[in-house]
């Protein structure tokens, strides 16, 4: 069985995530303590106690989700005997999850990942004034069709494919007038659903260039090591292990399309038969089931999940 570990992105956060893991396992507690120390504040208190509005803020949600993913990874290593280099063929993450994947594979320290995601969250929120940008999900159309619709709508402003999530789900991002125009066109072109999303900024489009510049500067100050396991990068949908290339991909990712469908297909075609979503939620597991038919898929983020994983390895 060839295994991939995948790490969730923004939207998977819930108040209380990771609390049971930290209560049960010292390696998980240490991750939350390390993140708190790196940020100089008790992010763990916001993660576990809320309020939800504060956790959902991009600057908090991004390092918070990384913390839960890394806490889960460390428990898998300590309790289930997982050795990433030996047991995992690829790591991948959806958007901010790419930082979690790299920290899990020891390319970044946990502290550096937390600080980078705090910078990333703030820079992405600041890049576009509230109300100017928007995102929309189109269901039931393929990427090529959505690109044609985005190009037509771009007459009203920036409009681009932000996430190719698979299963006929593509997310658009850009200026609000253009994205609204694309939603109307998509309905006419046969989309099963086309809806605006309740997001605070238009992620993964050219409007995020100021945030990409901020990440280039922040990443230049961090030591990036070759990961223990190749990263299947969002913008390439191919594996990469060379530090300078990883940094380029992380910068490009801020404005580029998250090629999740292609990334999963690459891993499946490379022989991965078992995907484990590491951290909060089950969003990626649901997407992978629709992309890599026949693959084994699980989500691991609670003590019960850890116990099931251990039992399956016996």
Alpha carbon of 130 to those of 13, 54, 71, 126, 201: distances in Å?
21, 17, 33, 9, 7
- Is there a catalytic annotation at residue 95? yes
Residue 21, classified by CB atoms within 10 Å of its CB into exposed (0-12), middle (13-18) or buried (19+), is buried
Q: Which of 95, 107, 263, 299 is catalytic?
A: 95
CA distances in angstroms from 175 to 82, 98, 157, 160, listed in the order given: 44, 25, 6, 10
**CA distance linking residue 241 with residue 238, whole number of Å:** 10
Query: From CA 170, how far away is CA 154, in angstroms rounded?
Result: 16
Confirm if 309 and 82 have CB atoms less than 8 A apart. Answer: no
Three-class secondary structure of residue 78 per DSSP: helix
Active site residue 204: yes
Task: Tell me which of 100, 204, 263, 299 is the catalytic residue.
Answer: 204
Name the residues annotated as catalytic: 95, 204
């Amino acid at each position: 069985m060839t295994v991939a570990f995948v790490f969730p992105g923004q939207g998977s956060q819930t108040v209380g995530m990771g609390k049971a893991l930290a209560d049960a396992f010292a390696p998980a507690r240490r991750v939350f303590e390390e993140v708190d120390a790196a940020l100089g504040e008790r992010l763990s208190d916001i993660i576990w106690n809320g309020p939800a509005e504060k956790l959902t803020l991009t600057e908090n949600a991004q390092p918070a989700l990384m913390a839960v993913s890394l806490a889960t990874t460390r428990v898998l290593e300590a309790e289930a005997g997982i050795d990433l280099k030996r047991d995992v063929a690829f790591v991948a993450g959806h958007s901010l999850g790419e930082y979690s994947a790299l920290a899990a594979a020891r390319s970044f320290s946990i502290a550096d990942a937390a600080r980078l995601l705090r910078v990333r969250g703030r820079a992405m929120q600041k890049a576009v004034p509230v109300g100017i940008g928007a995102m929309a999900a189109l269901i039931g159309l393929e990427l090529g069709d959505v690109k044609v619709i985005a190009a037509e709508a771009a007459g009203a402003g920036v409009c681009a494919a932000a996430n190719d999530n698979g299963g006929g789900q593509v997310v658009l991002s850009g200026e609000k007038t253009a994205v609204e125009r694309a939603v109307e066109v998509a309905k006419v072109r046969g989309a099963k659903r086309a809806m605006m999303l309740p997001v605070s900024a238009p992620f993964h489009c050219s409007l995020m260039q100021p945030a990409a510049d901020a990440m280039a500067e922040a990443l230049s100050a961090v030591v990036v090591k070759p990961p223990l396991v190749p990263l299947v990068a969002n913008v390439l949908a191919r594996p990469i292990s060379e530090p300078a290339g990883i940094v380029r991909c992380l910068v490009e990712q801020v404005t580029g399309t998250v090629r999740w469908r292609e990334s999963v297909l690459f891993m499946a075609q490379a022989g991965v038969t078992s995907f484990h979503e590491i951290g909060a939620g089950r969003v990626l597991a649901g997407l992978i089931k629709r992309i890599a038919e026949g693959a084994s898929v699980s989500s691991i983020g609670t003590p019960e999940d850890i116990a099931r994983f251990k039992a399956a390895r016996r």
